Amino acid sequence: MTELNGTIGRWQGVGLITTSLLGTSVFILPELTVKMAGEGAMWAWMLLVAAILPLALIFAELGKRFPNAGGPSHFVQLAFGRRLGTSVGMLFLMAAPIGTPAAIMMTFEFIRPLVQLEGSALLLAQLGMLAGLWLINVRGMQLSSSLQLGLTLAILAVVLGVSGGLSLPSGELPRFTPGVWSAFALALWAYLGVEVVSHLSAEFKRPERDFVPAMVIATLMVAAIYLLCTALIQSLPAGEGLAMVRLVNHVLGGGGELLVGILGSAAGIATVNTYLAGMSRLGWSLAQEKQLPPLFARLNHHRVPALGLGALLSVVACSLVLAHGFDWGFETLLESVNGVFVVIYLLSMLAAWRLLPGRFRLKAVSGGIACLLFAWSLGGAMVYGALIFLSVWWWQGVRAKRLKPCLER
């Protein structure tokens, strides 16, 4: 079997994309932006939505026209050749050993108040989460995408339910406070990863019909949820503890710790699930092009690259063990990986300029400008992504020179 299984419908795609973007930050980021910018936090989120929409639309259009498990790697290869395309794919894979453990550690910030876990018990629980994700992914994406649509609806129901018990701020335009740009720099983490679902475009039943609507609907739903959460938090009196927990307790009279803990941890697990699925499909695509060992190209009877997924999970498990051993926090890991995604986005926008019809070029330019704005916001965190990309690019050149004599025989 050499083809992936097309099982994802439009609304299942909405669930996958939405939960991958909401992730571990939906109950945390709005509060942090309010602390930074006050009422100007709404400006930070509105600017972020304006910056991310062209990126999402371009990724959706690329996924629709060129459905492939390689995602951005495939797009860049079509536009600029194998060396650059493979470099993008390897760059993404090299982010996995750092970014995925960070997401898992963030997820357990919601779980720990419900179940006290420390030290080796915490590590064993995180490794157990990886094993559970293996069982979900090895049977394909149809089950997990359906579950994640349900999770998205549950999060939306909680946010709307809480909003009914509080008075929102007036409709007046908020002040543009000095902390807006700092809040914007923080808030962009909510949408980092918008590209990952393009790796799964080949598994949509009808990508030419459903992929773009799924991406647009999910992007706007996520924007609405973050804006509403920010507005609700601005209306809440100051207090101790997580603001979303206090909101739920205020409206329902209690149970906030349990409800937010369950939904927050479930959203985090869903995010890690989508990333692992996307990266295993990317590994499968690179193996098809003989850029990775053949085991990454083997599909099981569910048409899932199970061996490649297992290898990826093993690397992530080793990274978790190292992180616990050296006492690395998720903040340290995130700072090292975020610049990787901006490099991938920028190269994808350049590829879109070459691959898509002229009417999409304005969106591609807007997406490129957004990438430069993200890079400016990240500052020194871009160094890691740039160095990794240059290293991979160099290695691809060395590898090509070594293989050339063999190909000429």
Residues 6+ apart with CB under 8 A from 237: none
Q: How confident is the model at residue 398 (pLDDT cuts 50, 70, 90)?
A: confident
Residue whose token pair is 């700072």 = 335
> Cβ distance 330 to 268 under 8 Å?
no
Q: For residue 199, what pLDDT is reported?
A: 57
Q: For residue 361, what pLDDT is reported?
A: 92
Q: How confident is the model at residue 170 (pLDDT cuts 50, 70, 90)?
A: low
> Cβ distance 319 to 364 under 8 Å?
no
Mean of per-residue pLDDT scores for the chain:
78
Coil, strand or helix at 348? helix
CB count, 10 Å around CB of 253? Answer: 9
Residues 6+ apart with CB under 8 A from 83: 393, 396, 397, 400
pLDDT at 76 over 90: yes
pLDDT tens digits for range 186-218: 787 778 767 666 656 666 777 667 777 887 888
Work out the average pLDDT over 217-231: 85
CA dist., res. 21 & res. 287, Å (int)? 27
Q: For residue 23, what pLDDT is reported?
A: 64
Q: For residue 140, what pLDDT is reported?
A: 57
Dihedral angle, C-alpha 132, 137, 143, 147, nearest 10 °: 50
Q: How confident is the model at residue 407 (pLDDT cuts 50, 70, 90)?
A: very low
369 vs 232, higher pLDDT? 369
Coil, strand or helix at 204? strand
CA dist., res. 111 & res. 256, Å (int)? 13
pLDDT tens digits for range 319-363: 899 988 888 877 667 767 778 888 999 999 999 999 999 889 999
Work out the average pLDDT over 147-175: 69
Radius of gyration of the chain (CA): 21
> Cβ distance 88 to 195 under 8 Å?
no
Residue 235 DSSP one-character state: T
Residue 166 DSSP one-character state: S
Work out the average pLDDT over 162-170: 63
Q: Please, what sign has the CA dihedral across residues 237, 238, 240, 245?
A: positive
pTM value is 0.76
Structural domains of the chain in order of their starting residue, each with its CATH number: 10-408 (1.20.1740.10)
pLDDT tens digits for range 22-43: 766 777 788 888 888 888 888 9
> Cβ distance 7 to 206 under 8 Å?
no
pLDDT at 153 over 80: no
CA dist., res. 323 & res. 320, Å (int)? 5
Q: For residue 259, what pLDDT is reported?
A: 84
pLDDT tens digits for range 278-316: 777 777 777 777 777 777 777 766 677 777 777 888 888
